[in-house]
Structure 1
Amino acid sequence: MAKKNRIPHKFLPWIDVRKKFNLSHAHVQMARELGLNPKRFSSYANCKEQPWKLPLPQYIEALYEKSFGKNLPDNVLSIEQMAAHHLAKRKAKKAAKAALEAGRDESKISEESSNDPI
């Protein structure tokens, strides 16, 4: 049985926003880089009641171009790919920490054995 990929909780609101407002992966990545709050997207996208507002995708593109001076991010990743990179990074960090702890334990044991009088 295949193991289902787990997505960390910090990425779930972005997946919901992408589906609800029909945004592309690039738009979601631009919004994340801009630091927009996914919970406030309904107020950003209220262009039917407030016609002076831009539609949400154009609003994100305009903010991104104003802030970064380019139309799109250099490397566009989906939220699922970002989550996979995040989990791989955490796993590598945990493995490195375990290796460091194992090295400390070995050095501690070797120091104790060298200090024992025979």
Structure 2
Amino acid sequence: MAYPEQQWKEAKIKCRLNDEAIRKAKEMGLNPKSLIKNIPSKQQLWKLPVQEWIEEMWESRQEKARKKQLKKQAEQAGAN
């Protein structure tokens, strides 16, 4: 489901995100409402700011994809 650009602009402002973070959030299938809901309050010191949360999740998913690719290459090399 595509979200209106206005919602993304609102999330960008409220969460203090840059264009790169918005791009990554869209690629991962996040929606603007979830980004806004994950803004940490002052009592939630354990919670990462949304920008860092997106970046950490992006890195985690990229690492999983790299491992999966390496495993696939190893299996293909073993079959030859």
Which residue pairs with 1:68 in the alignment? 62
State the shift of 1:47 in Å. 4.4
Which 5+ residue runs of structure 1 have no aligned equivalent? Answer: 1-8, 70-118
- Aligned residue in 1 for 2:6: 12
Residue identity over aligned pairs, in percent, reads: 31
Larger Cα Rg: Structure 1 or Structure 2?
Answer: 1
Q: TM-score, normalised by structure 1?
A: 0.46
RMSD over equivalenced CA pairs, Å = 2.0
Alignment of 1:73-112 (within 5 A): none
How far the C-alpha of 1:39 sits from its partner, in A, is 0.9
> TM-score, normalising length from structure 2?
0.65
Aligned twin of 1:52: 46
After superposing on structure 2, the runs of 4+ consecutive aligned residues of structure 1 that deviate more than 4 Å are: none
Show CA shifts across 1:26-73 (max 9, x none).
01011111111211223211242211111111100000011123xxxx
Q: Number of paired residues? A: 62
